[in-house]
Amino acid sequence: MFKKFKIPDATIGRLSMYSRYLIEADKKGITTVSSQHIAKATGVTPAQVRKDLAYFGEFGTRGVGYNSRELYNYIMKILGLNKQWSVAIVGAGNLGRALSQYKGFNQRGFNISCIFDNDPKKIGKKISNINIYSFDSLAEKVKDFNIKLGIIAVPASAAQEVADKLVKAGVRGIINFAPVNITVEENIILRRVDLAAQLEYLTYYLEEI
C-alpha cells in the first residue's frame, strides 16, 4: 500500500467514518462485514467503499468480506491513528473550551496537551485539567509537549498571527476555525472549518429560485 500517489480528500474523510462503524461492529461481536454493510452504515455506495480501500491495499477476502477488527486496525494505521498525537488549542473562548472538554478526541488518540490564550484573566486557569498558558509561552510549551497539531479558536483578526507562531514552534498540521483565509508554508497541512458556511449551505438549498 500507501500514500504514494494522490488520493481524494473525500476518501480520507470516509475512512474516518468506516473506522467508526468498524469499531462499533467489532464491539457488537460482528467479526465479518461486507462493503455493502459498511456502505449502508455510512451512507455511501459499496463500490465507493471498495474503491477507497483499494487505494491502500487488499484487506478483504473474496466471497467473504472484511474482518472488522483487522480492517479497523488497517484504517487507523492509514490515518496515522496507531499512535497518540498531542494537540494545542489556541483560544480559550467559547469554542476553545468546548473542544478542550470533548472526550471524542481522546478516543481517537488525540491528547489536548495545552491551551493558549492572551487574556491575563484566563492564563493560569484550567479547563478540565488542561492548563491555559500565555500565548507568549507557546513556542516553549509546543516543544516541551512535542505538539505537532494545532487548533486555532481565536478571532479572525488574530488567526494568521497564531498560525505563524504555531508553525514557527514546530506544529505541522492546523485546523482553523476562524472564518478567514490564512496562509502557511507549503509543507504544513491546513484545514479550514467554517461552521457558519455549513449553515449557509443549508439556506442555499432551502431558499427557492
Ligand X SMILES: NC(=O)c1ccc[n+]([C@@H]2O[C@H](COP(=O)([O-])OP(=O)(O)OC[C@H]3O[C@@H](n4cnc5c(N)ncnc54)[C@H](O)[C@@H]3O)[C@@H](O)[C@H]2O)c1
Partner DNA sequence: CATACATTGTTAAATAATTAACAAAGATTT
Partner DNA sequence: AAATCTTTGTTAATTATTTAACAATGTATG
Binding site for its own copies (CB under 8 A): 2-3, 9, 12-13, 15-17, 20-21, 41-43, 78-81, 85, 87, 94-95, 97-99, 101-102, 104-105, 108, 110, 148-149, 172-175, 179-181, 183, 189, 191, 193-209
Per partner kind, with CB cut-offs from 5 to 8 A, the member of ligand X, DNA, its own copies, none near residue 204 is its own copies
SS3 90: strand
Residue 50 lies near DNA (rule: CB under 7 A): yes
Per partner kind, with CB cut-offs from 5 to 8 A, the member of DNA, its own copies, ligand X, none near residue 162 is ligand X
Per partner kind, with CB cut-offs from 5 to 8 A, the member of ligand X, its own copies, DNA, none near residue 64 is DNA
Angle between the N-to-C axes of helices 46-54 and 35-42, in degrees from 0 to 180, rounded to the nearest 10: 110
Residue 170 lies near ligand X (rule: CB under 6 A): no
Residue 98 lies near ligand X (rule: CB under 6 A): yes
Number of neighbours of residue 151 by Cβ within 10 angstroms: 28
Per partner kind, with CB cut-offs from 5 to 8 A, the member of DNA, its own copies, ligand X, none near residue 30 is none
Residue 17 lies near ligand X (rule: CB under 6 A): no
Part of the chain binding DNA (CB under 7 A), chosen from 41-49, 87-95, 136-144, 200-208: 41-49
* Rounded Cα gap, residues 21 and 137, in angstroms: 40
Residue 164 lies near ligand X (rule: CB under 6 A): no
Residue 53's closest CA among 109, 20, 21, 7? 7
Residue 181 lies near DNA (rule: CB under 7 A): no
DSSP 194: -
Strand order in the sheet with 149-152: 126-127, 130-134, 110-117, 85-90, 149-152, 173-176, 189-192
Residue 60 lies near DNA (rule: CB under 7 A): yes
Residue 150 lies near ligand X (rule: CB under 6 A): no
Q: What is the CA radius of gyration of the chain?
A: 20
SS3 118: coil
* Rounded Cα gap, residues 180 and 164, in angstroms: 14
Part of the chain binding DNA (CB under 7 A), chosen from 40-48, 104-112, 145-153, 173-181: 40-48
Number of neighbours of residue 59 by Cβ within 10 angstroms: 17
Q: Which residues bind DNA (CB under 7 A)?
A: 6-11, 33-36, 44-48, 50-51, 53-54, 58-66
